[in-house]
Every structure is written in structure tokens, then in C-alpha cells.
Structure 1
Amino acid sequence: MTAASTHAAPLSMGHTGYAASAGLPLGPAGLPETRTTTTVEAGVTMTHIVRGAFDPSTPWVVELSIPSSRTSPDPDAPPRVVQDQGSADDLVRRLTAAGFGAQSQPVRQPAVADVPASVIGYRVRSTSTFPSQADATAYVTRLKAAGFAARTWYAGWDGASMSKGQWSINVLTIDPREFRGHLGATFGPDLVDRETTTALGTYAHAKAAVNGGFFVLDPKAGAPGDPAGVGVYGGILESETVAGRPALVLDDRALHTRISRPLWRGSLSSGSSRVDLDGINRVPGLIRNCGGDAGDQPTDHPLHDATCTDADELVAFTNAYGPSTPAGAGSEVVLDGNDRVVRVEARRGTTLQTGQRSVQAIGNLTSKLTPLRPGQVARLDLGLTEAGGGNLVRPRTTVINGAPQLLRDGAGSSPQRWCTTVIPWGRSVSR
């Protein structure tokens, strides 16, 4: 059995975390809470938790999907609930012109372990509120008929609400004492195409799948589907880190899990010449979520849901990337399984055969590859280690990107009511 998922997946492991007798830390103390547990596989259970009840005094609202606009950092990304202020305000104007009352609202993030309190974006909601979900659904139908995408939302689910519920939560638990399957991640047939969690679970023949991790959505931000941060799948490093960002490290047999801030390295060496790499399996020049090196603009620090740029880069590619490597100006060297040069191209974009890898160069680093000749040995070295030096590129290990870190040593860095039920164990995939 494989427990699958997509990108980074927090699941609980063993009989810890959410199973605390005090109940979930949602809403006021003493709310009614029921749990129904079913067995998925030996050592794997699914628990459905229902806490509290809908409060008649708490309204339903309608929330809009906001298309990207010219002000968005990802102008070609699909619509989403939280966008930049310009895109949100633009949608409010369109809704008003169509006769629908709407307002833009800031979405505030409290301080967490490694990110200060901030406004992470803006959402758009109708100015009308509704006593029931059925009433809100009728309004959604009107909006959709007018060409807008919307959903119903219970105001009691907002982070600052002290509503009495109702919350409905599913928790997948893996007990390592009984588990006989495999826990890990999959990105599907290749890294560059996005799939749904259901499709990825089917691809992995999984009994359970959970969505997780961050990845590129906008073609102008890179290759849609490319993990936006570290990725080790089946013991193979396929994506570099966002420097300083946490990652989830998983064991194939569910024997342990941990949060790590790994360090990656990459280099290409030939004779006495050695050059450092900037990335793995991504479009050169585009660094999603930033956190690269000092040449990146506007920053080399992590910057969530943003794309930094660098005109001069060296990026390695494996067979996992896709049908062909990114095309464009620059140079590319193709290596066989023994790190011997197969060919050197004056432009980027080629098809890799089984066992082959390549390195692309752009900008002033293009000349670093052109002296190489077929038959010459050019050693490609890719590695990922923990801060203490432990190797993370090894069989039976999966590493999934994430951020920001909500908890450290069992506590957040500011008072907040998160359901902290998780982390020991997540199966993930890449999309």
C-alpha cells in the first residue's frame, strides 16, 4: 500500500496529537465533539471529527474567486480566493457595475514561528450576508449566471471568529507499529504538469492521498507544477531548497518524521574547472518563492508567492522534469549515466534519454558550458543535507517543501488558535 498525496502533506502518526481527550482547540471549550473512525488499511485509519454546531447568529457569506490582473505578481495564474489588492479592487469594480454589492478585505496572518504578522493579500466578499447556506447558494447561482466564480462560506470559519462551529475535519492516522505499506510523495508522470490530488493518488496506486507543498501555477513564474522548494522523491533530489524554509522529512515505512531546514548543493566539474549550480529542474532565471543566491532580484531571502529573477544561472535537469527541457537562449550540455558529455548545444531545449541529465546556462554563464566536448567527463554533483550534516538523498526518504512554520517545539510564537493536530507524517505528491 502507498499512502499518497501532493507536495507536502501533514498527517498525524500513531496515537498522538489530535487524539487528545480535551478535544480540538476550536471555538469555546466544552463544545460537543463526535469522532467516527474507519480502517483504511492495517495501521491506517481515517477519523471524521465533527465539532460544535452552526450558530444561527453567525451568517453565511459569499466569497469570490479573484482573477489575476496586471497588478498581480502572477498575472497568468488561475483565479484564487486571495490576491493582491489591485486585483481584488478590480473585481469589486466589475461586481458593482454588474449590480452586485462587494467589498475587498485584507487577509491578516498572525505572527508564526518564522514569519511576522502581516497582510498576506485581499479577498472579495459580497456585502450581503445570509442566514443559511441555501440562501448563500442561491446568491452564488446568480453570480455564476453573470459570469463570476464564487462559493459559500460560513463566517464562523474565519480565523478570528469565536463561533461555536460547526467544523468537519478528516484526519488520516498512520500507526507505525502496524503499518506495512509505503509512505512517500509523487509528482506524477513529470514535474512540469499539474495534476489533481485524485489523479496523483491514482497514479501512485495509493490507498490514501493528501495534497501538500507549494508549486508554480503561473507559466510566467516558471513551469506550472514545478515544486516551489525542496523535493526528494524516492530518495532522488529533484528540486532545490528555498533557503531557510522548513521541509517535512518522511520515512518510507512511517517510522519517523521531522521538520528540517535542509541545505542543498549542486556543482558541475570537469578537470580542474568547477562551477556551482543555481537550481534543479526549473526554468533558468525564475526562482519561485525566492530564497536563492545573492544575484537574485529583488531579494535572495524567501518571499512567499513571489518570483525572483536572475539573468545569469546554471540549472540541472533530470528525466523527471518532462518531455523536454526548457527552450531558449543560452547553452546546454547533456551527460550520460557516467557523467560523460553526450553533446553540447548552443541553445537550450532538448529531450533527455533514460539515464541522461543536463545542465543549462543563461546570461554570462553560457560560456561555462561551451568549452566541453563529447566524451569528456563532467561530473554533476547534487546533494541535500541537514544542518548537522546528515544526508537526505538516500533510499526510503522523502522531503517535501513547506512554509511558513506554524509551530516550533510544540508552540507558536504568538497566541493563536490553530488546530495543531498534525505533523508526524505526511505522504505527499508534487502538485
Structure 2
Amino acid sequence: MRAFGMQEQTADAAATDGDLRALFGQSTAVFATFTGPDQVVETADPAFLTTFGEDGASLSTLLDEVYRTGEARVRRDVRVLMGSGPDAREVFFDLTCEPRRDDGGEVLGVRVIGVETTQVKHAQRLMAEHRALLEQIARQAPLTEVLDGMARCIEELAPEELFVSVLLAEPDGLHLRHGAAPSLPDFYNEAIDGIATGEGVGSCGTAAHRREPVIVTDIATDPFWDDFRDLAERAGLGSCWSTPILARDGGLLGTFAMYHPTARVPQENDFALIRVFAGTAALAIERHHNEVARQAAEAQVESARAALAEAVRAERELRAEAEQRAEAAAELTAQMRVAAAVQAKTPHPEFCQLGGRAGCALPAEIKVADSWGDSAWGCAAHVEEILIHVPSVFIASEELGGLAAYLNR
């Protein structure tokens, strides 16, 4: 198992190195020798002439210093602008300039050896941007922030102009929603927000349906874009290749698309960018889904806890109310027993007998009794109270007048 793990790590490292080479190319080495105080080119390889020109004039200050002092000089990340206009690009070199001497030690000229560091700088930037994205994911930054930053990073790192779009799959996998596309026009993003996944639904809908990359090199003629061709033309899009973003269990998370303003075939550096960042997008989306699920679970737990607390509170209130009713029933039952003893002398008292210790000055209108044979006369209010709290008590007026008085009070 350990040997297998080492093989996997070696394979991953080799794949990463291959992607970086595809993205940034191979480093260029340059060499030239100069003679005399005027720094006349004696020999130079083609790479040097292409980069610094036939006379190396851009290095004249450095060459003069080495020739004058007789001491070697090293310059890191020397910037050179190659080309002009829209095709201009900057490159960087590490240069070592050494004096050339005759047998007597006199300086005859200067030797220049250099290695291009453009690829290293770009690779360092890529790694820094990638690390920053991973840190955002780790601290649970909003998904839109992570995806937008990733899209901008890819657009800036790409050697040619391109536009990045990330669409997110709905839970049912049948539609795709806008995730990030910072450089595409708003009308385009709004138009494709919610598109269906299916065969022939543009590059992204088809890639999501097939669960495999879909490359459209010419939007103007590809049948997958029949329903979106006018939209793409308005947005200035000529080609599009889309890759499904898949979860670790194979589930669809979304799509990762790269658009170009012209019809073109993807290069190896395009695939390298996809390989580097598709996994990062999957990680960000999965982490987001997990966080949403965690928050939903916590909300459910909190809701259940609140419901339980409310049930306990209600149960306590009901229990307290039941205890109060039991106490009231006991007191009223006692009052009836006292009243029953009194009735032996006064069968129909003038005033209510159910007022307890405080008494009651209202007329005794209704007679009530319980299953034990005890009875009492009371006013309408106290009779109602005893009927509510003592289940065995009933209206027992010998004439219907008492019951009618209670019902029609």
C-alpha cells in the first residue's frame, strides 16, 4: 500500500509538472559575447538576437559596467518587451555578465549567459493564486467570491484572451444556474441562467448531460449552438469548450467553460488550465454544499430543540393548571359538604353557599349536587365554577327554574 501511494504521488507530481510546462512552455537560454569598449557583438545564439536585438543595445549599461570594472554582474528578472502593439509581451531573464580577458588579464570584452524566468514567474503566480483560492475555500468564503476569483485568475494567466464561465447544477441535475462569469456580458449570463442539461444544449448543457468535455471550435457552424447562436454572436463569442465539474461520487456539480472571441481549436495550455482549476472548482462547490447541508441540519436541530422546549413549557403550564383545578375542586367539594350540613336546617338558603371563606352575598338561585349526595345552593357564577372544576357535580334543582336561571343568565 505504501509503494502504491508513492507511485500515486509521483504520478500526480508528474502530471502537475506537465501542466505547468503546457501552460508556460520551456525556459529559453541565451548566450552572447561582446568585444571591445564599444561592445560589438562577436557571437550570439538566435535566442539572444531575437530577445535583445542584433546589437544588444538594451544591455549597454550593464555591459559597460562589467567592461569598465572587470567584475562580473548578475541581474535577476531583467524585463524585456518583445514585439509591439497588441502582440507585445513581456519576458524576464536572469543574466550573468562576465569579463573576457586576454592572457595578460586585460579585459577584452564581456560574455553574457542568461536563462528566461518568465515561466517561473508565471508558475509562481499561478501557485500563489491557486493557494489563495484554497485558503478562501478553507475559511469558507462565499462560493460566488471563490468562483469569481478563480475565473479572473484563469483569464489573467491565459496566454490568449478568453472568458471563463462556471455554471452550477441544480439538485435534480436537470438545469444549470449562473455561478461566475466576470468577463461575459450581463445579458448573456442572464440568458443562459437556468438552461437545461441535455444533448445539443450548447457546450455546457451537453457536457453536463454527457458527463464529459464538449469542445465546440466554431460556434457559428456547430449544431449544438443552434438555439444560442445569435446570443453568442451578440456577446462576441467564437468558440467554447466546456468540462463537467463532478463530485467525488460522480454526481454533477456544474460546468467549467472557456470561451474565445474567435473560432479556434484548444491548445494544450487550455487543457492544462482546465486540469489545474476544475478540481479546485469541484472542491469549492462540494465544500459549499456541505456547509449548506450542515447549516440546514443545525437549523433543524435548533427548531426541534425550540419545539421541545415549547412542549415542555406547555406541559408545565398544563400541569400547573391541573393542580390549580384539583385544589379548587377540593375546596369546592368541601364547601358543598358544609352546605349540605346546613341544608338540614335551611333547605333553600337565601344567599349563595359556594363563596368559600370570603362568602357571597348573591342570591342562591341554583342547586347542585354530587354523586355522594351532598348538595348546595349557589349563585350562577359560583355554580359555573364548581361545574367546571368538580366533574361529579351536576345541577340538581328540584324545579326547572333553577336550571333555566342558569342557562338564561
* Fold shared per TM-score above 0.5: no
> Greater relative contact order (Cα 8 A, min sep 6): structure 1 or 2?
1
Who wins on radius of gyration, i.e. which is larger? 2
Query: Comparing both structures, which one devotes a greater share of its residues to helix?
Result: 2
TM-score, reference length from structure 1: 0.23
Give TM-score, length-normalised by structure 2. 0.24
Please identify which structure carries the higher strand content: 1
